[in-house]
Structure formats: structure tokens, C-alpha cells
Amino acid sequence: MKDLLEKDGAMPRLRDKILMNLTEENALELVAEIVNVYENNAQGKQRLGSFIDRISFDEFKSLLNLDKYLN
């Protein structure tokens, strides 16, 4: 029986952390940047987790402009 959190066989990923202790404004900006990177680099309807697995988590982080979120 599928877990209630599963949808179409996908499981949520909670282990990968990009940055911690962001302001709400910075968190929203980072989410927008993540969506932009995903839209410009994913293959077809590839899920975000599959996209990150394909290119590696370190490569994914390098595509984000994380320096602007560090205080």
C-alpha cells in the first residue's frame, strides 16, 4: 500500500539542505531561482529530484547564486 505522502510513486525528499536560516524574503527568492534553474535545465517532465540526481546535488547548488543569500 502506498504511503499517503506518495503521489505517482514519488517520495518527498527531506535530506538535502541548500541553505539554512534564510529570511522569508530570501527563501522565496531562492525558491524562484530553483524553479528557474529547473525549468531551464530539466528534461521534459522530469521531476525535480530526478533532475538533481542526474546532475548531482553539488552541480545543482552551483547553478544557484547562493552567495547572495549568505549574510
Give the pLDDT of residue 19.
Answer: 92
The pLDDT tens digits for 4-20 are 545 566 677 778 889 99
Give the pLDDT of residue 1.
Answer: 43
Q: What are the domain boundaries of the chain?
A: 24-69
State mean pLDDT over 60-71.
90
The alpha carbon of residue 9 and the mean position of all alpha carbons in its chain are separated, in whole angstroms, by 18
pLDDT tier, 22 (very low <50, low <70, confident <90, very high otherwise): very high
The pLDDT tens digits for 30-52 are 999 999 999 999 999 999 999 99
